[in-house]
Structure formats: structure tokens, C-alpha cells
Amino acid sequence: MKQLTLIRHAKSSWDYSVEDRNRPLKERGMMDAEMVSSHVRGKVPVPDMAFSSPANRALHTCTIFLKNLDIPLSRLQLTEALYDFSGSSVDHFLRTLDNRYKNVMIFGHNHAFTAVSNKFGDKYTDNLPTSGLVHITFKAEHWAEIGKGTTDLMVFPKHLR
């Protein structure tokens, strides 16, 4: 059985003249990431490995979650495949994961994460919001075989305020 926890990056700021990859989080984004990660502590399994888009906003969100969930940084790997906005690169990334990983956590972007959540989960969302988390369990033994799984948990910041 494989398990996937996907988290969309927290709310970012457009107040700076920086490239898209370098956009920082807003203060509200940091607070939402703290709130969601604290809420899911003990509700999502500790991943074998966490993967993040290299974009500043995704990586910063990732480090907040890892800290609050007591996941060591040694379990973090950056990957260009998660700097994706359509979902096709994320889909390919998941299907080519090393099968020794039973449980992974990924951090990235929309519209990719909404598309992946809806493709693989059995609960639909129009939009995975910033700092939104979805946990999906698959009956597959190999990542290449994942199909429709069971959405075990969906947490959005607005549900916690």
C-alpha cells in the first residue's frame, strides 16, 4: 500500500520584483502553514521521504511542515518535477518514485496539485487552496500502478480559522 500527502505552498507575496521561483511567503501564508501542519500532527503518517519544488514559497512551506511534524531535513529532496503547474510532471514524478518509499509527502503548486488530488483522490475539490493538504492512500504495491485512491484527509486553512 502506498500513501501520498500533498501540500500546496502557502500564500505568497507579489510585493517584490523577483522571478516567480523566488517569490516569498506572506506572513499570513506562514501562519496558515503553521496552523495546518500543527493540526495534522499525528493525523498523517511521517513520510519515508518529502519532496519539494525548488521554488522559494514551496520550500519555505515544506520547512515549516517538516519542523512541526518532527521530520528530519535528511528526508527532504528538492525536485524540478514539482515545479509544475499542469500536473503532468507531478503525475510522472509519482509514477517513477522508488518503490521502497511507502509514504511520501510532496510540496508544490496549483493547478497541478488540484489536478493530481482530483485524479487520484476520491473527494473532489474545485481548488486546493494555499496551505491545503490532501492525504491519499492507494492499494497499489508499486508507484507505477497507482490509480484512484482513497482520500483520507483534506485540510484547508479556512476550515481551521
Q: Could you list the residues known to form a binding site for substrate, using ranges.
A: 57
Which distant-in-sequence residues (6+ apart) come within 8 Å of 15 by Cβ?
none
Q: What is the mean pLDDT of residues 126-152?
A: 98
pTM value is 0.97
Q: Is 77 helix (H, G, I), strand (E, B) or coil?
A: strand
Q: What is the mean pLDDT of residues 151-155?
A: 98
Contact 91, 117 (CB under 8 A): no
- Name the one residue in this structure whose C-alpha cell is 520547512: 63
**What does the domain layout of the chain look like in residue ranges?**
2-134
**Selection from 136, 133, 102 nearest residue 121 by Cα:** 136
pLDDT at 63: 98
Give the confidence band of 29 by pLDDT, cuts at 50, 70, 90: very high
Q: Could you list the residues known to form a binding site, using ranges.
A: 57
> How confident is the model over 74-107, as pLDDT tens digits?
999 999 999 999 999 999 999 999 999 999 999 9
User: Could you tell me the CATH superfamily of domain 2-134?
Assistant: Phosphoglycerate mutase-like (3.40.50.1240)
